Amino acid sequence: MKTVSELTDIYYKHLYPSLQELEDERKKIKNKLIGIGFFYTLLIGIITLFLLSYDASTEALFGVVFIYIAGMGFLYRWLIKDYTNDFKFKIIAPLIKAIDKNLTYSPSLHLPSHYFVQSKLFTSEPDRITGNDYVQGTIDNVAIKFSDLQVETKHENSKGNEEYTTIFMGLFIVSEFNKNFHGRTVILPDTAQKTFGDYLGHLLQQNNFQRADLVKMDNPAFEKEFVVYGTDQIEARYILTPAFMEKLLILKKRSKHPVSVSFVNKNIHIAIEYNKDLFEPSVFHSLLKYKIAMEYIQTLHLAVGIIEELKLNKKLWSKL
Amino acid sequence: MSTPLIILIVVIILLILMYNSLVAKKNQVENIFASIDTQLKKRYDLIPNLVASVSKYMEHERSILEDITKLRAEANKPNISDNEKIKLDAQITSALGSIMIAVENYPELKANENVIHLQHTLSEVEEQIAAARRAYNQAVTDYNNALEQIPTNFMANAMGYTRKEVFEIPKEQRENVNVKELFAS
């Protein structure tokens, strides 16, 4: 697999002509956004003043604010639509091909919802799953798929209206695991012990009825970052060897975001909570900026790299 | 209801909870030890096969082969205590390790399909055993903690529970550079 610096090279050398084109487009869109946004704001401002002079109710004013925000979002998406498509086809797609020829990229699709459900990483029932940037393929004979995912659950708010709350937003990766297992092992960021301290946090985790049994691991650094629940104490440790725990710690460090991992149904599921839509073109910053470029490259590299990083390609002999 | 009665009920409930948690911890240790036992047996069953396959070639390692056969016979004896099992397991692990390393010196063995098969099976069993050992150690630590911590220590004393020993995990296995890595190519 190509390294991050090789990919950076590709980004700045091979993709430079496309980047230049997109950069011109971006500047135009940015000016358009600012221009239209200004007039739109002005218009709404005048309406608000008009309403105020007629002693309008607070509800009407809230309505105006709501319309303003919704309209702004709509305008933004409408204006950047073509630019986003161009960006995905001209930049993200070639980058993915450069990482590995066997990978296919579908910008508008997302990971099939059942992977999210079967992962058992989240206990809330998902009601709406959206996403984009679906990548799938086989690397070193190991199947891998990942995409951007936003998962929401529906509930009624105090006024009786339906409302969606986000359960997860970020990168969701599914890959074949190289060992046989039958039960379920779920690894989550350790929030309870961090908030309530070791003793009380541990007590809470032990009595978490939504999860399987608590599995205490023998690596203190790992225990500090993660909490493990599993249906089989031995199998959880068979999967989480000392070396594998170290690798997950490295993955967590590299992603700089909360990482949850689960082993269900022959697969490893990795959810990284970026809390934003990934692989979207930047509008207000130059695409040529190193920091912006690195965000795309590092995220892609991290996702595809898990096969090498976690040695998922070293299959057990009985799985060959 | 009078206050003393309420206090009495609460105390009884607490005692029952304590008793049950101790029993659960003891059973957890026993359960996991039973699965280690199964894995160990699986490994012992592979030993005669391994010895038979390699003994034709291994002239210099005769003594290790004899040792391991003896150890296996001992481990298969009925009525040996858990602590003895733990000790035998450590010896067998190290003897198997030296045989595996010795195989590297014999090109005929390295290419022998039967030996390769055995090596892979052994290394998989080895990984299962390593996982089971770690699970066992955690269960024993929980159990031992309950035996020493207040208030369960009083109850455990009354129940006649004694401390259990943990498996000494060999350093190589803690770092998980096991035999499998050597034959990865």
pLDDT band at A52 (very low <50, low <70, confident <90, very high): confident
Q: Scanning the structure block, which residue is given the tokens 């699709």? A: A109
* Residue B150 sits at the chain A interface (C-beta within 8 Å): no
Do the Cβ atoms of B138 and A314 come within 8 Å? no
DSSP 8-state secondary structure symbol assigned to residue B166: P
A238/chain B closest Cα distance in angstroms: 5
- For residue A316, pLDDT beyond 80: no
* Residue A199 sits at the chain B interface (C-beta within 8 Å): no
How big is chain A by its Cα radius of gyration, in Å? 23
Provide the residue range defining the domain that includes B45: 23-182
Let me know if residue B10 belongs to a domain.
no
| pLDDT at residue number B170 | 58
Structure tokens at B3: 């206050």
| pLDDT at residue number B181 | 47
Q: Read off φ and ψ for residue A164, nearest 5 degrees.
A: -105, 135
Let me know if residue B113 belongs to a domain.
yes
Residue A66: CB atoms within 10 Å = 10
pLDDT band at A87 (very low <50, low <70, confident <90, very high): very high
Q: What is the mean pLDDT of residues A249-262?
A: 92
Give SS3 for B22. helix
> A263-284 burial, b for 16+ CB within 10 Å, e for fewer?
bbeebbbbbbbbeeebbbbbbe
Dmax (CA) of chain A: 79
Residues of B in contact with A243 (CB under 8 A): 175-176
* Residue B130 sits at the chain A interface (C-beta within 8 Å): yes
Let me know if residue B84 belongs to a domain.
yes
Q: What is the mean pLDDT of residues A239-251?
A: 91
In chain B (185 residues long), the average pLDDT of successive 10-residue segments reads 89 91 91 88 86 81 85 85 83 85 84 84 86 90 90 86 78 47 45
Of B124, B132, B142, the CB nearest to A234: B132
Structure tokens at B108: 């005929």
pLDDT band at A145 (very low <50, low <70, confident <90, very high): very high
In angstroms, the CA B169 to CA A42 distance is 72
- For residue A320, pLDDT beyond 60: no
B111, B122, B79, B128: which is closest to B185 by C-alpha?
Answer: B111
Angstrom CA distances, B163 to A60, A130, B83, B124, B182, stand at 73, 54, 12, 31, 37
Mutation for A interface: B124, B134, B145, most A CBs within 10 A: B134
Interface list for A 225-254 with B (CB within 8 A): 233-238, 241-243
Do residues A111 and A134 lie in contact, with contact meaning Cβ atoms separated by under 8 Å?
Answer: yes
Of B28, B135, B174, the CB nearest to A237: B135
pLDDT band at A318 (very low <50, low <70, confident <90, very high): low
Of B127, B138, B184, the CB nearest to A216: B138
Q: What is the mean pLDDT of residues A109-136?
A: 92
In angstroms, the CA A68 to CA A60 distance is 12
How many domains does chain B contain in total?
A: 1
Do the Cβ atoms of B138 and A233 come within 8 Å? yes
Q: Convert chain A into a string of H (helix), E (strand) and C (coil).
A: CCCHHHHHHHHHCCCHHHHHHHHHHHHHHHHHHHHHHHHHHHHHHHHHHHHHHCCCCHHHHHHHHHHHHHHHHHHHHHHHHHHHHHHHHHHHHHHHHHHCCCCEEECCCCCCHHHHHHHCCCCCCCCEEECCCEEEEEECCEEEEEEEEEEEEEEECCCCCEEEEEEEEEEEEEEECCCCCCCCEEEEECCHHHHHHHHHHHHHHHCCCCCCEEECCCCHHHHHHEEEEECCHHHHHHHCCHHHHHHHHHHHHHHCCCEEEEEECCEEEEEECCCCCCCCCCCCCCCCCHHHHHHHHHHHHHHHHHHHHCCCCCCCHHHC
DSSP 8-state secondary structure symbol assigned to residue B42: H
In angstroms, the CA A28 to CA A17 distance is 17
| pLDDT at residue number A317 | 59
Considering only alpha carbons, which residue of chain A is nearest residue B35?
A234
| pLDDT at residue number A231 | 93
* Residue B118 sits at the chain A interface (C-beta within 8 Å): no
Query: Residue B142 sits in a domain of what CATH number?
Result: 1.20.1440.20
| pLDDT at residue number B184 | 45
- Which sequence spans correspond to the domains of chain A? 4-180+266-319
Do residues A309 and A247 lie in contact, with contact meaning Cβ atoms separated by under 8 Å?
Answer: yes
- The proportion of chain A whose per-residue pLDDT surpasses 90, expressed as a percent, equals 45
Angstrom CA distances, A135 to A6, A280, B9, B29, stand at 20, 15, 61, 45
Q: Which of A185-189, A191-195, A275-279 has the weakest average pLDDT?
A: A191-195
| Angle at the Cα of A239 from the Cα atoms of B30 and B93, rounded to 5 degrees | 60
Of A216, A235, A242, the CB nearest to B174: A242
Do residues A288 and A19 lie in contact, with contact meaning Cβ atoms separated by under 8 Å?
Answer: yes
Let me know if residue B29 belongs to a domain.
yes
How big is chain B by its Cα radius of gyration, in Å? 22
In angstroms, the CA A138 to CA A154 distance is 35
B174/chain A closest Cα distance in angstroms: 6
The string of pLDDT tens digits covering residues A170-188 is 999 999 998 889 999 999 9
| pLDDT at residue number B61 | 79
- For residue A236, pLDDT beyond 90: yes
Let me know if residue B9 belongs to a domain.
no
Of A234, A317, A318, the CB nearest to B131: A234
Interface list for A 32-61 with B (CB within 8 A): none
| pLDDT at residue number B95 | 86
Let me know if residue B8 belongs to a domain.
no
